[in-house]
Amino acid sequence: MEITVPLGPQHPALKEPANYIFKVDGEIVTECVINQGYNHRGIEKAFEARDYNSGLYLAERICGICSITHNTCMAQGVEELLGIVAPRKALLMRCLMGEAERVHSHLLLLGVAAHLMGFDTMFMYIWRDRELIMDILEEISGNRVNYCMNTVGGVRRDLSENAKKLIFDSLPILEERTKYYLHVAENEPTFLARTQGVGMLPKKVAKALCAVGPTARGSGVEADIRKTDPYAAYPEIPFDAIVDNGCDALARLKVRILELFESYKIMRYCVENWPKEGDIRVKAQKRVPAGEVVSKYEAPRGEDIFYIKSNGSDKPERIKVRAPTMANLPATEYMTIGGYLADLPITLGAIDPCFSCTDRVMIVKEKSEDVTVMEYDDLIRYAKKYYENPANRRRR
Amino acid sequence: MDLILSTIAVIIFFVLFPGLVFIGSFGLFAEWFDRRIYARAQNRVGPRLAQPFYDFIKLMAKEELVPEKADKWMFNYLPVFMFAAVLTAYFMLPFGFFFYPIFGETIDFLSFEGDLVVFLYLMTIPTIGLFLIGWTSSSLYAVYGSTRTMSQLIAYEVPLLLAGLGPAVLAGTWRMAGIVQFFNENPAFLFVNVLGFLVALVALQAKLERIPFDIPEAETELAAGSLVEYSGRRYAMTRLVVDLEMVTGAAFISAIFLGGYDGTLYSIQIPAVAQFVIGALLFFLKTILVVFILSIIRATFARVRIDQMVAFSWKWLAPLAVVNLLISVFVKVVPGVL
């Protein structure tokens, strides 16, 4: 007997609203439909009403967790359009902040994953240790989230001596704790029972479905923008891209734990090689010459893409953001089918979904492959027509 | 005179101690203790002593919602039914420490040959109740929780009963009071049942639906499983039932595997009041010790999947319980082993 099980938009396993509809045969999932769009905020449109510098602050509010990601990605794109290069201090700061954010995001996800598989003790432990990196982020930028570090042409703050000391003091503790979590992930029998062989995504499929970030790297695909298309100061920093051939949820989690060590390494390199002299930013003009650019950034969740089109004024004509979760969603569908209902939370959680970064308005017309641009008035007309149909009206 | 004394004793037994008032507060205390230990193990502060009581009062005052399609009668009265079953099971426990100082001998009027089996039978009723609650409350998640409750019930019930057989075989009686008396007279025999004790602990953890066996109510999968539609008084009642189930199960293990207390140990040297106090303290300290072990288990593991749980029960728990039973039989039939 097949049963339809809805998961979300309100469900304890989902930290943000999204809707999955599963067809379930007993405990085995046979079909998965993903419905997005509960979190659409019209950010791409809002970019067009702001100048580039204000846009940076908007960009980092795309996601509460990877705010420096979108922030830096946009700043890099605008700088490329302007034809300026940020000074070395700024580049190092972008790496340092990016890696600190990766640490905090990965620790967050590991805690959430532990909670999803019912391992609340590990969840509490990890989130306790995450406070260390949050303190570092606060000491460097002044904020725990939404750091506002970048500006067009550089960064806003220098690295203080206090922050350097705090980083050197905290990193050994974090390294030690991370080693413990790696030990738990490799040896705890119930942890292994819940993640090993769960949500399988073979290398071939991962490539075909264009998975990115730790999801792809957990399936043996070397997809790391920091290596394949280095930005900021990454070309000079020695580190390894972590790849695991396990192809399951455990591999995805282990990739994240091992990446933490690389992030600590990069953070240490940035602080040790911090230039004594030099500016933190170069002056940039307000008007950006006409042109278009694609900027890429390795977010904690994978490849983040900004497409920026400028028309010569101080406001962008169009900004398109492709957040990494968007790229990983097709892979999610593949992972869930054939798995257990009980494994759904951890399967969905292991890609580290972030729906508020992902949601866009999308109009799909059946039996037609035309792409149409809809203006505001068109949308109003469409909505009116839609609600004329009684079937689409909400039940009172 | 004897009749009046025994009537008063019976009223005190059922109403005050160790009856309704005491077991209610002890259940809430055990919940606090469990939550506190769990929190301390996770590096949190945890709730204060009165928190479970406040939770209970708060839930009692909350609005109640009944789903339109739910079976109203079942939905309303199942918690009461479960509560009654757990209480009945609780009163069957060997409370020798209560009766011995008053009557000079261990008389339990709810105690009879075979009460071990009746106790385990009564303890199954709350689980069946949980299944029916989910089945009748017309929610998809509740139905999933219910089916999982049943699969789990079949998996852990057999090892629990087999583990309980060990002490019964050793003592040569199916009366719990008799088993307690036997262990009080021959404490060395307690060590024969170490395997059975461990099996019973794990089975009890599964019965109480706690991590790693909280599969039927798995928060991140099924929201709250069977109880997803419950609110207000009914939910408070069901939570209290779960607390009582925990205390009763722990007391059962402490009686059968840890020797409980039947009142004869210090009968000669000390006065009746002191004997009563020591007996009650010993019995409930052992119970709390079992709750402590259950909390530590809860803090150490991740939730397993239902198929893994069932496989674990039949591959490990049931054979271990059988081994324990064989050891007990061996010790019993070969004289002079202990």
pLDDT grade for A367, boundaries at 50, 70 and 90: low
pLDDT at A60: 86
3-class secondary-structure state, position B4 = helix
Q: How far apart are CA B262 and CA B103, in angstroms?
A: 13
pTM: 0.85
Cα A79 off chain centre by: 22
What average pLDDT does range B322-328 have in this prediction? 90
Task: Express each pLDDT in A52-87 by its tens digit.
Answer: 888 888 888 888 888 888 989 999 999 999 989 889
pLDDT at B334: 81
pLDDT at A396: 46
- In the predicted model, is pLDDT for residue B258 greater than 50? yes
Tokens of B280: 């009650």
CA distances from A252 to A119, A256, A355, B13, B54 (A): 17, 7, 19, 58, 42
Structural domain boundaries in chain B: 56-333
| CA dihedral for A153, A154, A155, A160, sign (positive or negative) | negative
Cα A47 off chain centre by: 20
Q: Considering only A42-46, A78-82, B2-6, B120-124, which range has the smallest mean pLDDT?
A: B2-6
pLDDT at B34: 92
Optimal mutation site among A116, A190, A191, A336, interface B, most CBs of chain B within 10 A: A190
Q: How many angstroms separate the CA of residue A199 from the nearest CA in chain B?
A: 14
The CB density around residue B316, as the number of other CB atoms within 10 Å, is 13
Q: Residue B327: CB partners within 8 Å, gap ≥ 6?
A: B166, B192, B195
Residue of A nearest to B42 (CA): A121
**Residue A245 carries which side chain, given as an amino acid letter?**
N
- In the predicted model, is pLDDT for residue B267 greater than 60? no
Helix, strand, coil percent content, chain A, rounded in steps of 5: 50, 15, 35
Q: How far apart are CA B95 and CA B18, in angstroms?
A: 8
Average pLDDT score, chain A? 86
DSSP bridge pairs for A28: A25, A340
Task: Express each pLDDT in A223-253 by its tens digit.
Answer: 888 888 888 888 888 888 888 888 888 999 9
pLDDT at B295: 92
pLDDT grade for B57, boundaries at 50, 70 and 90: very high
Task: Express each pLDDT in B178-200 by its tens digit.
Answer: 888 888 877 778 888 888 899 99
CA distances from A259 to A24, A144, A396 (A): 35, 22, 51
How would DSSP label each residue in A12-81?
TT-SS--EEEEEEETTEEEEEEEE--TT---HHHHHTTS-HHHHHHHHTTS-SSSHHHHHHHHHHHHHHH
- In the predicted model, is pLDDT for residue A26 greater than 80? no
What is the rounded (10 degree) CA torsion for B77, B80, B82, B84? -140
pLDDT grade for B268, boundaries at 50, 70 and 90: low
Q: Is the ipTM of this complex over 0.90?
A: no
Share above pLDDT 90 across residues of chain A, in percent, rounded to a whole number: 18
3-class secondary-structure state, position A291 = strand
Give yes or no for a cis peptide into B212 (omega within 30° of 0): yes
Q: How far apart are CA B130 and CA A168, in angstroms?
A: 54
Average pLDDT score, chain B? 85
CA distances from B54 to A270, B51, B79 (A): 52, 5, 20
Question: What is the number of CB-based contacts under 8 A between chain A and chain B?
Answer: 73
Residue of B nearest to A11 (CA): B223
Task: Express each pLDDT in B198-207 by its tens digit.
Answer: 999 999 999 8
Select from B43, B140, B302 the Cβ nearest to the Cβ of A191: B302
β-pairing, A291-299 with A302-310?
antiparallel
pLDDT at A106: 92
CB contact under 8 A, A11 and B223: yes
- Which residues does chain B have within 8 Å of residue A116's beta carbon, measured at their own beta carbons? 220
CB contact under 8 A, A345 and B299: no
CB contact under 8 A, B42 and A343: no
Q: Which residues of B270-306 are buried (b: 16+ CB within 10 A; e: fewer)?
A: eeeeebbebbbebbbebbbebbebbbebbbebbbbbb
Tokens of B332: 């019993």
- Which residues does chain A have within 8 Å of residue B43's beta carbon, measured at their own beta carbons? 124-125, 128
CA atoms within 13 A on the CB side of A212: 23
Contact A32/A333 with Cβ under 8 angstroms?
yes
CA distances from B119 to A67, B18, B122 (A): 58, 17, 5
Q: Considering only B200-204, B267-271, B296-300, B327-331, which range has the smallest mean pLDDT?
A: B267-271
